[in-house]
Amino acid sequence: MFLRIATIRRAGARYRYLQLCDAIRVNGRPRDRVLYSFGNLDKLAPATLAALSDSFARLAGTQPARPASLTTERVWEYGGVAVALHLWDVFGLTERLQRLWAGHLRRFDPVPYLQLMVANRLVNPRSKLGVWAWAERVGVPAAAEATELHCYYRALDALLAVKRPLEEELWLASRDLFNLELDLVFYDLTSTYFEGVGPGDAAYGYSRDHRPDLRQVVLALACDQHGFPIAHEVLPGNRADATTVREIVDGLRQRFTIRRCVFVADSGMVSQANLAALDEAGYGYVVAVKRQHLPGMAELLARPLEAYTPTGHGLRILVGDADAQGRRLVCCHSAVRADEQRQIREARVGRAQAALTRLRETVAAGHLKAPEKIIARAAQHLAAAKATRYFTYSAAPGAFQFQPRQDLLDRLRADDGKYFLLANAPQLRPDEIVDAYYTLQEVERAFRELKDFLRLRPVYHWADRRVHAHIFVCVLAYLLEKALATRLRDARLGFSAREALDQLSTLHLVENRLGNTTVRTISRPSPQVQAILKAVDMPVPPAVLPEDADRLATLT
């Protein structure tokens, strides 16, 4: 018996039929006898043909080899976490922590838990309870080890115990890895608030989040001129800005081998005590100063704008003579800032003048007669317009007069866009003093990254030590993010760290089942992902994990 395909032409069309036949002889001549017709071959389902093939193979005793079915069992996040842990290894964090913990008995290894908490801040910020649940979806070895929820909290305690020496070692590592020199230290403060009572350090104070109704803690951060974190401190929420400088300066002098350093800070940090502390520490400084009666300030303001020298950042500058302490005042003029200040003031004056004119008409109409009520109404209008100092006014029974303080407005117009920097760093040229102050924005960017990208808040801890450790985890995540951004910039890829992590989110670890064998593979990286991996000196992961490659070879 055999199978054959019979072709029949009918009405100009061609039809093919699958037939089961055997060979016979009729009158001595060979003929094919049709035993069974399976029907039109073009209408037979592939499954029917496969079943026929298997049936004939069983009859012949030769079962054909069928390919095993491939199914996807699980998919894990991989790309962003793997790069974060690679950068963790670049800084040698595991070895540093193990060495700093030497001599302390522990019933578990805190490293995998800290690795996941820091990596999570970069790729998908969550609470510690959220990290514990998220770890089940992450395809890195640390996730298989960090399985106990309570150990995440105990790992925070272990991290905080080595904060100071670890910061010192990480700064030295950053300096060596990225060829940094510590000539400038940029210092600024931010705050983070708590819903509810908060930890013991939480207190009401000046809120940079515009939530004075909630308790907060203050975070002081010192960075180098490239934005790499040097040290940080968590302070009570009611600490005034100017009272924090001496504490940070003393800490930098004692902990870091800083011989020649320029301290850069904003005007909120300036006080005579702070400047004296910087002088005592031997540090130069570049600080913004508010309008006050410093020697030489009035003379610089009186000079015409033509006397100023153009420099970078769209500024013109005028430098005063050094005083007895070697300090120089630099008066900076920004045309953009001048235009903004002028427009804001003119809008306030306009609103106030319109309100006072209406008040004068109301008084003239006899609707308001008592002088004390007229004065109170005028003060109310000026306060609402934020223009109290721009006008003089007087009232008498049934009369109200006002006029703008033209001498003050003319003086303010001449001073628009001007602000002062005070520097006692003779090694810096005037344009370098301005550059140093503008670089202070790196610290402000660090705070934005901590609050927005790394989600410093909300803080789910209520013990001081846990809050401090949580902030340290965020600072470590910022260190890794800064390292990633630096590598991307050096490779000229044009990606921010955030954009790179978004690209890396396309890389997954996949568990496949091929027959009875499980094989783990890594999804194919896009050209952008390959470029990011190259920038951080991380090899492109193999398509199949090495430990699964042998099992796969037996199937092929």
Q: What is the pLDDT of residues 440-467, one digit of tens each?
A: 776 777 777 877 777 788 888 889 999 9
Going by the DSSP 8-state scheme, the letter that residue 452 receives in this structure is: I
Beta strands 418-423; 284-289: pairing state: antiparallel
H-helix or E-strand containing 533? helix 527-535
Contacts of 215 (CB under 8 A, 6+ apart): 193, 194, 197, 198, 202, 203, 204, 237
- What is the arithmetic mean of pLDDT over 234-256? 79
- What is the arithmetic mean of pLDDT over 417-431? 88
Q: What is the pLDDT of residues 177-197, one digit of tens each?
A: 887 776 777 777 888 889 888
Other Cβ atoms closer than 10 A to 279: 15
Q: Which tops the pLDDT comparison, 428 or 406?
A: 406
Alpha-carbon distance 413 to 411, whole Å?
A: 5
Q: For helices 527-535 and 497-504, what crossing angle results, to 10°?
A: 130
Note if the pTM is more than 0.75.
no
> Edge-to-edge strand order for the sheet containing 517-522?
70-77, 508-514, 517-522
Q: Flag whether pLDDT at 416 surpasses 90.
A: yes
Contacts of 236 (CB under 8 A, 6+ apart): 201, 202, 203, 205, 217, 218
Peptide bond into 546 cis (omega under 30): no
Q: HEC profile for 214-278? A: CCEEEEEEEECCCCCEEEEEEEECCCCHHHCHHHHHHHHHHHCCCCCCEEEECHHHCCHHHHHHH
Q: Flag whether pLDDT at 365 surpasses 70.
A: yes
Alpha-carbon distance 185 to 189, whole Å?
A: 13
Per-residue tokens: 369 = 């007669």
Q: Which tops the pLDDT comparison, 418 or 65?
A: 418
Q: Flag whether pLDDT at 259 surpasses 80.
A: no
Alpha-carbon separation of residue 491 from 485, 488, 494, 528, 534 (angstroms):
10, 5, 8, 12, 9
Q: What is the pLDDT of residues 302-313, one digit of tens each?
A: 899 899 999 988
